[in-house]
Amino acid sequence: MARHRNVRNRNYSDDYDYDDVYGHSVEEDSCLSPSDTAQWMYDRSRNQQAISNFLDNHNDIQEEAEELPEPSVRTLDRRESMDLRGLNLNEEDEAKLMSCLDELRNVLGDTIPENILVQSVLTHKFNYNKALDEILNNKSKDEGKCKPQPAIQVPTVLIEPIKAPILTTGDKTPKVIATKIEPNKVAVIKGFKIEDENIKSCPQTPRDQSPANRERTPSRLEQADENKVIIKIKENKSDPNTQFLNERGSDKDHLYIVVIGHVDAGKSTLMGRILCELGEVSQRTLHKYEQESKKIGKQSFMYAWVLDETGEERVRGITMDVGRAQFETKTKKVIILDAPGHADFIPNMITGAGQADVALLVVDATRGEFESGFELGGQTREHALLVRSLGVNQLAVAVNKLDTTNWSQERFDEITKKLKAFLKQAGFKDSDVTFVPCSGLTGENLVKNSTEPELLKWYSGPSLLEVIDKFNVPQRLVSKPLRLSINDIFKGTGSGFCVAGRIENGVINKGDKVLVCPTKEMAEVRSLSINDLVSNVAFAGDQVSVTLSGVEMQNVSIGYILSDPIQQVPVTSRFEARLVVFNVKVPITKGFPVLIHHQSLVESANIIKIKALLNKSTGEVLKKKPRCLGNNSVAVVDIEVCRPICIERYKDVKELGRVMLRVAGVTIAAGLVTDIFTT
Ligand SMILES: Nc1nc2c(ncn2[C@@H]2O[C@H](COP(=O)(O)OP(=O)(O)OP(=O)(O)O)[C@@H](O)[C@H]2O)c(=O)[nH]1
């Protein structure tokens, strides 16, 4: 099975009942050790900008010519052909000119002599849009094939050539028409879309002032103008909803399910057993696992080995990273994300949970074991709270290892009673939670109804597979602007490199231009694969691997977002959030340092302002500017992140509008983003 190449998606149509959701204390005995933090937590400062840093000190390093897919495409290094010395530009202006020329060339190809481009850019003081506008207008007049353009009255002008000059076809003289359209709107005709500086679907953030980011070499696009982006879109790009229907109409719905629970609750064994029973694992492989696990005295883990693939996981008998596999039910294609149960790997668990539509909570029914997972600082509570805080609202609870209690109804009832009360307080509706008695080891009540006489005496409900099949698939927001949250980066087999992530919103096509945020570098989608199968298109809800070109691998990090270049994801280092505080040993005061978990990103932050203390049930302001926040309080705060991050208001994109706050390995609060500041 493929290892974690995951994405997150939680497209929940229902409103997030904030006041209902939280309110429980989470306590964890063990904290992350520094080595675990170093090993498991992503830290941009450690290694991600290495090349940029290097470039800072070596400004004369030549840019590598980009590898282009078609040999017919001219791989001209545009700088080669220019001698700018005569222009007497300073370094900054020269960089701006280069950027503008590059972008103009992207649109115009080599159809316009360079001196005209240079002249136009300088005339319009590096205002790329105006330069392009002028060139296209002149060109249109020259060719006499396009209508003359009315004078431009407003600065927010979008221009769209009717025919895209697709260089690979050999047509290097595209006929273009300049079209003036209303301000703040994007014309979607065939050809290009050009964003004007006034089209801001979202707040723009100034350059990060932190030392780390000051060192980073800005992309040429950034140097030219952060807000101006050129996009080549495919001709006849169809409506996303129609495209979705055409591509997926007859397919089974995809459902992402995260498997959570205290360490050793039997999560991997349960899922491994289901995969075996459904024929997803061959007898031969299973036999191999049996023999090999026997050799190291871990035979009871043989089913867990289906998901625990690394040597260390197998030797230690614990899951460390999110394992991934898939199977089909009657109506769904189910992708399972087997999260680690051990407290040390909570960051990985959060990554897995962030990708899930629904969750399967596994609890160990063995006497004493349920209690240590639930009552004695175990992970059952924290996992349930985390998934709910991350937006998961449908839950199946596998009351597992019931074979160890001789299928005792009394034990099942005792566990469900305790869990029901807790889950309700954590924000799960009773009707969205289903309890299933089962045993991962014996396979009882997993894919088929039980034949165990002791269980049949009191249980006639559905098997675990039936419960999974009945989950509602969240609505996929394919017509919203693209948001793909990167949670894995790796070198692919061919040219370029791959990022993996889940598409939260929108559609991504092979050949699309996407904006890598927060750095705002343009990249091109060279190829796509969904669950390891090559595809030309992927939709909201899909877990994808995307091969990118046009951007350096070193300049992309886990937690970055691939965004629609026109309707860009907001980038900011300061935002307002409504927080629910779980359990803090020290009250939260102004300046309180925390680690923000947002999608797969972990970033240092501070609570810089406590604006108001709210009534938990009504949301009414109880106190303005309280000095501190205690356990179970609800408050509005301002948070400043050490570096700019991509974030959305919860009401705009739920998946990108939630944050978790952790301190020293303990989740202390969850928050919904209510405002984003552009300072
Ligand atoms: N008796 C019994 N033992 C089980 C059952 N399911 C799992 N086990 C045993 O419990 C131990 C832990 O199982 P795992 O599947 O590795 O547990 P896990 O929850 O995936 O562990 P982590 O991912 O490391 O948190 C193994 O020795 C399993 O054989 C069950 O239904 N009955």
Rounded to the nearest integer, the mean pLDDT of the chain is 72
- Is residue 212 very low, low, confident or very high in pLDDT (cuts 50, 70, 90)? very low
pLDDT at 38 over 90: no
Identify the pLDDT of residue 281. 82
pLDDT at 129 over 70: yes
Place of tokens 């500086």: 197
For the CA atoms of 541, 542, 544, 548, the dihedral, rounded to the nearest 10 degrees, stands at -60
pLDDT at 152 over 50: no
Query: In whole angstroms, what is the distance from residue 490 CA to residue 553 CA?
Result: 9
Distance (Å) from CA 459 to ligand 1 centroid = 23
pLDDT at 400 over 90: yes
Identify the pLDDT of residue 189. 25
- Written as six digits, the tokens of 359 are 């969750």
Identify the pLDDT of residue 223. 43
Q: What atom in ligand 1 is closest to the CA of residue 439?
A: 31
Q: Would you say the CB of residue 401 lies under 6 angstroms from ligand 1?
A: yes
Take atom 8 of ligand 1 and give the residue whose Cα is closest. Answer: 266
Is the ipTM of this structure higher than 0.90? Answer: yes
Q: Across residues 140-162, what is the average pLDDT?
A: 37
pLDDT at 609 over 90: yes
Take atom 23 of ligand 1 and give the residue whose Cα is closest. Answer: 319
More confident site: 195 or 499:
499
- Written as six digits, the tokens of 280 are 């997803």
Identify the pLDDT of residue 412. 96
pLDDT at 298 over 50: yes
Take atom 9 of ligand 1 and give the residue whose Cα is closest. Answer: 266
Identify the pLDDT of residue 13. 35
Which range, 6-20, 206-220, 267-281, 451-465, has the best average confidence (pLDDT)? Answer: 451-465
DSSP assignment string, 569-602: PPEEEEEEEEEEE---SS-EETTEEEEEEETTEE
Identify the pLDDT of residue 334. 92
More confident site: 651 or 65:
651
pLDDT at 273 over 50: yes
Place of tokens 């209303």: 182
Question: Would you say 643 and 210 are in contact if contact means Cβ atoms under 8 Å apart?
Answer: yes
Q: Would you say the CB of residue 273 lies under 6 angstroms from ligand 1?
A: no
pLDDT at 79 over 80: no
Distance (Å) from CA 301 to ligand 1 centroid = 7
Q: For the chain, list the domains and their CATH numbers.
A: 12-245 (no CATH), 253-470 (3.40.50.300), 483-563 (2.40.30.10), 571-677 (2.40.30.10)
3 state DSSP class of 317 = coil
More confident site: 136 or 158:
136
What is the per-residue burial (b if ≥16 Cβ within 10 Å, else e) of 638-676? bbbbbbbbbbbbbebbbbbbbbbbbbebbbbbbbbbeeb
When mean pLDDT is compared across 85-94, 104-113, 369-378, 421-430, the lowest value belongs to 104-113
Identify the pLDDT of residue 548. 93
Q: What atom in ligand 1 is closest to the CA of residue 442?
A: 31
pLDDT at 571 over 90: yes
Question: Would you say 253 and 355 are in contact if contact means Cβ atoms under 8 Å apart?
Answer: no
Q: Across residues 416-440, what is the average pLDDT?
A: 92
For the CA atoms of 659, 2, 281, 454, the dihedral, rounded to the nearest 10 degrees, stands at -10
Phi, psi of 638 (to 5 degrees): -105, 135
More confident site: 44 or 168:
44
Q: Across residues 38-64, what is the average pLDDT?
A: 34
- Is residue 139 very low, low, confident or very high in pLDDT (cuts 50, 70, 90)? low
pLDDT at 113 over 90: no
Take atom 10 of ligand 1 and give the residue whose Cα is closest. Answer: 266
Annotate 248-263 with three-state secondary structure.
HCCCCEEEEEEEECCC
Closest CA to 356 of 452, 259, 257: 257
- Is residue 241 very low, low, confident or very high in pLDDT (cuts 50, 70, 90)? confident
- Is residue 467 very low, low, confident or very high in pLDDT (cuts 50, 70, 90)? very high
Q: Would you say the CB of residue 341 lies under 6 angstroms from ligand 1?
A: yes
Identify the pLDDT of residue 219. 42
Identify the pLDDT of residue 586. 86
